[in-house]
Amino acid sequence: MKIAFIGLGNMGGGMAANLVKAGHEVHAFDLSGEALARATDNGCATYTSVRESVQGAEAVVSMLPNGKIVESVYGADVIGQAPASALLLDCSTIDVDTARKVEDAARAAGYKMVDAPVSGGIAAANGGTLTFMVGGSDAAFARAEPILAAMGKAVIHAGASGTGQAAKICNNMILGATMIATCEAFALAEKLGLDLQTFYDISSKASGQSWSMTAYCPVPGVGPQSPADNDYQGGFAAALMLKDLKLAMEAAHSVGAKTPMGARAEELYAAFAAAGNGGTDFSGIIKSL
């Protein structure tokens, strides 16, 4: 397929490269010249505007920083510019209301669109092992699934428009809170005189086990390779975790849901980022404990 890809940052660059590897013709755009150069090296054709990149596209994939930018890009440069037959796939993590607003506008103009945020981080984006949580109609999902499968290990239909975003922010609220609890437990275990590898060997096979512990351990030299082994660089930046937690709290407020653990996780990550750690991997919050 001829696929336009908008947004070639830490996540989007690897995703676009995997579409090329799958045999698609990728027309890429980003504001960064460096990102465009990498995309060229990865086999993408690059363009200097969104409008140019979407001409004649059979699908448009976007990976953008926030809802305001998503709404602006789709409103000004994708809807009415890409062929009406093109499938639109927004993989950004944004608020549910904006996702639904953009999809409503696309549908009114004759397009099929899905919101398809991801889980997995930079390594999964590069390796093609992302998990996609997809909101949209059955017909739109059926068209989106093979495109997303070229970039991920799991593509799951969450439901109607906006439910992909809902699943993403709920998932990352769990992740943020469990990472903090995991960090607290390792810090306490050390102060109590436990060898941290021994504690990992015990808890990873007991009821304290979680993804934060066994796949992304925040302690250097313990468990599988993780950003902790690289001085908490790479992976999923604390600023991005804070963004997702803020989205979760906004969503909770909009529907009257009580999320005390999510709210406390947001407070702790806000303090961690404000202390100059926004670019540090989110597991680096163990340093503040």
Q: What is the mean pLDDT of residues 120-125?
A: 90
Residue 262 has pLDDT above 90, yes or no: yes
Residue 235 has pLDDT above 90, yes or no: no
Of the CA atoms within 13 Å of residue 129, those in its CB half-sphere come to 6
What pLDDT was estimated at residue 123? Answer: 87
Residue 168 a catalytic site member: yes
Residue 135: count other Cβ atoms within 10 Å of its Cβ: 28
Task: Write a three-state SS string for 191-248.
Answer: HCCCCHHHHHHHHCCCCCCCHHHHCCCCCCCCCCCCHHHHCCCCCCEHHHHHHHHHHH
Q: What is the mean pLDDT of residues 235-259?
A: 96
Angle subtended by helix axes 33-41 and 12-21, to nearest 10: 20
pLDDT band at 121 (very low <50, low <70, confident <90, very high): confident
Per-residue b or e along 3-12, where b marks 16 or more CB atoms closer than 10 Å to that residue's CB: bbbbbbbbbb
The catalytic residue among 101, 168, 191, 287 is 168
Report which residue type is found at 261: M
Name residue 215's beta-bridge partners: none
- Give 19-67 pLDDT, tens digit per residue: 999 999 999 999 999 999 999 999 999 999 999 999 999 999 999 999 9
Distance CA 75, CA 82 (A): 11
Mean pLDDT of the chain: 97
Express as a percent the part of the chain with pLDDT over 90. Answer: 97
What pLDDT was estimated at residue 18? Answer: 98
> Smallest Cα–Cα separation from 183: which of 261, 85, 286?
286
Distance CA 167, CA 118 (A): 10
Which DSSP symbol is given to 237? B
Q: What is the pTM assigned to this prediction?
A: 0.93
- Give 174-194 pLDDT, tens digit per residue: 999 999 999 999 999 999 999
Distance CA 64, CA 83 (A): 21
Q: What is the mean pLDDT of residues 131-144?
A: 98
219 φ/ψ angles, rounded to the nearest 5 degrees: -105, 125
| CA 184 to chain CA centroid, nearest Å | 25
pLDDT band at 113 (very low <50, low <70, confident <90, very high): very high
- Residues in Cβ contact with 180 at an 8 Å cutoff, skipping those fewer than 6 apart: 265, 268, 285
Q: What is the mean pLDDT of residues 99-128?
A: 96
What pLDDT was estimated at residue 141? Answer: 98
